[in-house]
Amino acid sequence: MNQLNIYLSNLEHNYKLLVRNLNAGTNLIAVVKASAYGTALTAITKHLEKLGVNTFAVAYSNEGKILRRNGIKSRIMVFYPQPSGLSDIIDNKLEPCLYSVNIFKKFHKKLICKKLRNFPVHIKYNTGLNRLGFKPSCFDWIINQLKDDAFALKSIYSHLAISQAKKEIELNKKQIESFLKLRDRHIAISGLNPKFHLLNSSGLFNFPEFQFDAVRCGIALHGFANRSEWDKQLKPVAELISSISQIHLVKKGEYVGYDFGCKVNEEKKIATIPLGHADGINRQLGNHKGKVLINGKIVPIVGNICMDMFMVDVSKISCNEGDKVYVFGNQNSVSDLAHSADTISYELLTAIGPRVKRVIYD
């Protein structure tokens, strides 16, 4: 029994909490990329739409296409449009975030070929993350291109590289200053009237004075905001559970798992759990780094994580084959588990594979 339980009531709690932290006039853009952070793309998006979200964001056009096929009517931004997906963006009435001269020109060509006018687009600037986005020096070129009525500019945005860090971090200051200058220059251009947004989930809490017209929230909707004091206010949407397949008595001097992963120094009771790295259980969690919950007790993962299984030391607890195993959720934080693997909650959540059944609870 491997199951990812998804609690829409917790999603609703998080959404309402985030909205309460928005300034007057600031909209929440719900980021549902990567299958809604590894959970259930359609179910999560439909529930958020029902709660009042009017703008969503995905990474690539195929995610937006799935949402349209499943009846989502709200605006859908595509953060990282690729040349191969531009036709899908047009056909499914998605809104591309244009980030380079190349992608801008390719999309413009598509609009001309289809004789389309006033197609909604967003412009992304690179203010310091150095991943995607126009350099601020491209401002004049962008303004000149937007004179073509093929485009209807909806928003200008950028992305902080370290939004969860303390405010005095120099990179944060530089990025915010750069964005403020870009904002002033765009506002000075009459007739366009775009919205402006800079912050993600962590930024919402950390920089309330820079919420502007919208905030892009993804991981916070799922219960995490990259700082423990913020996480405490949120509820985890996803809970990963499994069960014990088999229990072995392993003698002193024997090994558990591949490649002599764990040598036992005394007789141990070892339980095998039917989840592995093929299901998203990070191999870094092996050899006593990761812990799971069985019958209310924390037990360590021993040996190396296998493709389909991992083992835990249950010598000090009472348990039987078939008992439930809580990998993460309300009772075992995914943030703590991620810390044990020297990674982040995003990676563990989005890595949960398709073999794990998704079960939706209202």
Residues 199, 319, single domain; the answer is: no
The verdict on residue 77 lying in a domain is: yes
pLDDT attached to residue 176: 97
Crossing angle, helix 41-51 and helix 61-69, to 10 degrees? 70
Number of neighbours of residue 8 by Cβ within 10 angstroms:
19
For residue 221, what are the contacts with CB-CB under 8 A and spacing of at least 6? 11, 14, 15, 18, 30, 31, 44, 48, 201, 237
Question: Rounded CA gap, 110 and 91, in Å?
Answer: 11
pLDDT attached to residue 310: 98
Q: Tell me the residue range of the domain where 268 lies.
A: 238-361
Residues 114, 256, single domain; the answer is: no
Question: Rounded CA gap, 202 and 160, in Å?
Answer: 10
User: Among the three residues 194, 222, 250, which one is the final residue of a domain in this structure?
Assistant: 222
| For range 282-289, the mean pLDDT | 95
* CATH number of the domain bearing residue 148: 3.20.20.10
* pLDDT > 80? residue 346: yes
Residues 149, 184, single domain; the answer is: yes
Tokens of 133: 């986005």
Total domains present in the chain: 2
Q: HEC string of 192-237?
A: CCCEEECCCHHHHHHCHHHCCCEEEECHHHHCCCCCHHHHCCCCCC
Greater model confidence, 229 or 30: 30
Residues 54, 26, single domain; the answer is: yes
| For range 32-40, the mean pLDDT | 98
Question: Rounded CA gap, 284 and 263, in Å?
Answer: 18
The verdict on residue 261 lying in a domain is: yes
Residues 33, 162, single domain; the answer is: yes
* CATH number of the domain bearing residue 334: 2.40.37.10
The verdict on residue 2 lying in a domain is: no
| For range 14-37, the mean pLDDT | 98
User: Among the three residues 164, 189, 222, which one is the final residue of a domain in this structure?
Assistant: 222
The full DSSP string for 167-194 is TT-HHHHHHHHHHHHHHHHHHTSTTT--
Question: Rounded CA gap, 106 and 117, in Å?
Answer: 15
pLDDT attached to residue 227: 82
Question: Rounded CA gap, 78 and 33, in Å?
Answer: 9
Per residue in 264-277, pLDDT (tens digit) is 999 999 999 999 99
pLDDT attached to residue 184: 96
Residues 310, 254, single domain; the answer is: yes
β-bridge partners, 242: 325
Residues 182, 274, single domain; the answer is: no
* pLDDT > 90? residue 21: yes
Residues 74, 165, single domain; the answer is: yes
Residues 57, 181, single domain; the answer is: yes
pLDDT category of residue 192 using cuts at 50, 70 and 90: confident
pLDDT attached to residue 16: 98
Per residue in 128-144, pLDDT (tens digit) is 999 999 999 999 999 99
Q: Which amino acid is at 250?
A: V
pLDDT category of residue 190 using cuts at 50, 70 and 90: confident
pLDDT category of residue 166 using cuts at 50, 70 and 90: confident
pLDDT category of residue 198 using cuts at 50, 70 and 90: very high
User: Among the three residues 164, 192, 222, which one is the final residue of a domain in this structure?
Assistant: 222
**How many Å is the maximal CA-CA distance in the chain?**
78
Reported as type and span, the H/E element at residue 55 is: strand 55-58
Per residue in 207-251, pLDDT (tens digit) is 999 999 999 999 999 999 888 888 899 999 999 999 999 999 999
pLDDT attached to residue 226: 83
Mean pLDDT score across all residues of the chain: 96
Helix (H, G, I), strand (E, B) or coil at 105: helix
